[in-house]
Structure 1
Amino acid sequence: MFDGLRKFWQSNRPARDENEPARDRGKHQRPHNIFEAAAVYVAACAEDDQAEMDEASGWVSPEALSFGVNELACRAVIALARERDESPRDVARSLLGLPAA
């Protein structure tokens, strides 16, 4: 599921010109929102990509990023629960390696 999210994000992300100075990047792009930041941050965590995590965490405040990550986690657990025909509680515990309640 997260791999699909990462592929979707990468296919819809504008390419960066590596020759463009860092201070000029983003002037022609719209600002990032908390859900974009959360999606990139979580996908980067899953891929152990520290540079991408650092970039995404700079797009929004730490509080906003935390909210976005929480919202993404809730939606992911709900989607997996529907796919597996299980309760969200059982799916969340399973993802964390906890025994069934």
Structure 2
Amino acid sequence: MKALALFSGGLDSMLAVKLIVSQGIEVLALNMDIGFSGKDDKSEIMRRRAAAAGADFKSVDIRSEYLRQVLFEPKYGYGKHFNPCIDCHGYMFKTALAMLQS
């Protein structure tokens, strides 16, 4: 059995991955680069953290699609207050689901 985990590289995602791996499930820790993590490339640190939790690691660059579809042309508009976090997480789930189906 295999699992795909959205992976920030933080403690919560590392523990979630570790719990899944401890059940004998192969995990791919998937990080989505949306362009807001600063100038430094953190992929090697995140790769090591995923490995420490027992998972393989993959980083996906979705910056241009994210900017266009979530920030500039949100599906449901901006509403009363601009809050891209809800749309952002939805977009990440949609991207991960598309990866599972391919």
User: Rg: which structure is higher?
Assistant: 1
The question of a shared fold, defined as TM-score above 0.5 by the shorter chain, is answered with: no
The TM-score normalised by the length of structure 1 is 0.30
The structure carrying a bigger helix percent of its residues is 1
